[in-house]
Amino acid sequence: MKIGPSLAFLWVGALKEPSRAAELLAKLEVSGKAGLLERMAELGSLLSQLTSRAFVEGGREAIPALEAASSALEDLHAFLLPAPDLPLGGEQVSAWHMFCVLASSILGGACERSRELVSSSLSPGELRSWAEGLAHQLKGLRGLLEDVHAFGPDYPAHALLEAVSSRLPGEVDLAALLVLPGLARGLRKDKEAFPELLAELIWKGLSEGLEGTEDGCLRLADVLRWTSRLLGMELKPEEVRKALRSLKAKGLLTSFDEKTGLAILRPRERDIKAAFEFARRRCRHGRAGLRKYALAEGLGWHPEYASAVINELVDRGLLVSSPNSWLPVSEEQARSLLIEAESCFEAELLEEAAKLYQLASTLFTKLSERAEGEKLELFLAEASYCDFMKAYCDARILYSSLDRAATTGLELDVADLDRLKVLVRAATKCLNEALRRLSALASSRDPEVSRAASEVVDLIDKKADKFKEFRSTVSNL
């Protein structure tokens, strides 16, 4: 059978946990026919003991499943008995070799688990579930052995992907790592396909959670060791470098420095969630803000990976920019900023208050994009209130500047007067918008929404008279 690149890519595509499978394969004691028959005899004895205990100790609900597993074992034993006892190994992994590897894994694991169950207290439900799974595996082994007989024991194992996937889906990883070294060696001279195969394999490892990438980085030396061990061959740095280059071109890596061999991973979902929660905790009170070095130190990441995660949070609308840092888009953060803005306003720190109202408005607006119903109306009302206060603060700052100029006898700029009136009109518009939305929430049955709406109404009531007085003064200029 001619081996093309597509076959190797199919096997890599079927992989889920390559590192785990490699560890299992390295520890596995592979038996030939005689050894498998011995394991079957041991497993049969253990199943008999478990059935007797289940009968005596009141676990009868597990007995049908145990009997089904015993029956499947007997069927497999009867089918294996007349099979030829062929040697294992060789340059090309045979179908018979693959069967022996998968059977050794399943039977060895079943014997080990059976011994644990025999020597421990039995949970009928757990025992039944285990026995049902074992029966399914034994039937799958029997089916695979039928395929081996049909194709011939010397048939190449790499052609059995469909058979293994359908009969023993839980063993596909083990089967893949058994055949991939041979497929990779045959493909190594292909300067285009081989780096792509390595790239796919590395990506599978990253999806599994490749050891050494906890800090969000992938290092050429580590990848070289991992792929060489997985494929059973000594790879060259340039081969792995090409694979990493391919992953970067596909957008699966944020960056790759070919000189240092350091690659920054694309932000992982679990890390994005962890970073957002870190930002919420860090910024819970006030405007501490999130910076990449604080995030890197707090979560044990490389600073450049922390930066990539921050960028992803920004792109998703989960962080907004504040001076020299980032703030999480959360109700807690938005209301914390609003409280701080109110304090600054009361202390006549109008410029600082205006900045805080602007930030709070941005957060409430971002929150509204993911809300619906009354929560949507509440966030928009709070955003409108913040916009009102931002315009009010800016107007008062400009008015004070004009008042000082007039006091010193300087001529007032008409453009500044026009801008002042525009700010007051904008503040009025935002105030009316906030009141309209708050009015719609007056009859809300949601206590949280009702409380938050009442708090905003109280804030407006405290400022309404002074704003009206200020607006009247400006209109007379």
Asked if residues 236 and 223 have their Cβ atoms less than 8 Å apart, the reply is: no
Domain contains 169: no
Spatial separation of the C-alpha atoms in residues 443 and 454, rounded to whole Å: 11
Task: For residue 234, give Cα distances in angstroms to 46, 158, 182, 224.
Answer: 43, 22, 13, 9
The percent helix, strand, coil of the chain (3-state, each to 5) is 75, 5, 20
Strand order in the sheet with 217-219: 217-219, 262-265, 253-257
Q: What tokens were used for 117?
A: 């169950």
Please determine, for residue 2, whether its predicted confidence score (pLDDT) is greater than 70.
Answer: no
Domain boundary among 125, 155, 185: 155
Q: Which letter does DSSP use for residue 121 in this model?
A: -
Q: What is the pLDDT of residues 32-62, one digit of tens each?
A: 999 999 999 999 999 999 999 888 877 788 8
- Looking up tokens 């805080």 gives 356
Please determine, for residue 91, whether its predicted confidence score (pLDDT) is greater than 80.
Answer: no
Asked if residues 181 and 3 have their Cβ atoms less than 8 Å apart, the reply is: no
Under DSSP, is residue 290 helix (H, G, I), strand (E, B) or coil? strand
Domain harbouring 63, CATH code: 1.20.930
Closest CA to 266 of 198, 312, 300, 313: 312
Q: Dihedrals φ, ψ of 256, to 5°?
A: -150, 115
Split into its structural domains, the chain has a count of 2
Spatial separation of the C-alpha atoms in residues 5 and 3, rounded to whole Å: 7
Q: Where are the alpha helices (DSSP H) in 216-299?
A: 220-231, 237-249, 269-282, 292-299
352 or 1, which is more confident? Answer: 352
H or E segment to which residue 262 belongs: strand 262-265
Domain contains 164: no
Q: What tokens were used for 216?
A: 């969000």
Q: pLDDT band at 22, cuts 50/70/90?
A: very high
Q: What is the pLDDT of residues 344-392, one digit of tens each?
A: 999 999 999 999 999 999 999 999 999 999 999 999 999 999 999 999 9
Spatial separation of the C-alpha atoms in residues 456 and 412, rounded to whole Å: 36
Domain contains 88: yes
Domain harbouring 367, CATH code: 1.25.40
Domain boundary among 155, 172, 188: 155
Q: What is the pLDDT of residues 66-75, one digit of tens each?
A: 999 999 999 9
Spatial separation of the C-alpha atoms in residues 193 and 344, rounded to whole Å: 63
Domain boundary among 127, 155, 183: 155
The structure's pTM equals: 0.77
Q: What domain range is 406 assigned to?
A: 331-475
Q: What is the pLDDT of residues 301-352, one digit of tens each?
A: 999 999 999 999 999 989 888 777 888 899 989 998 999 999 999 999 999 9
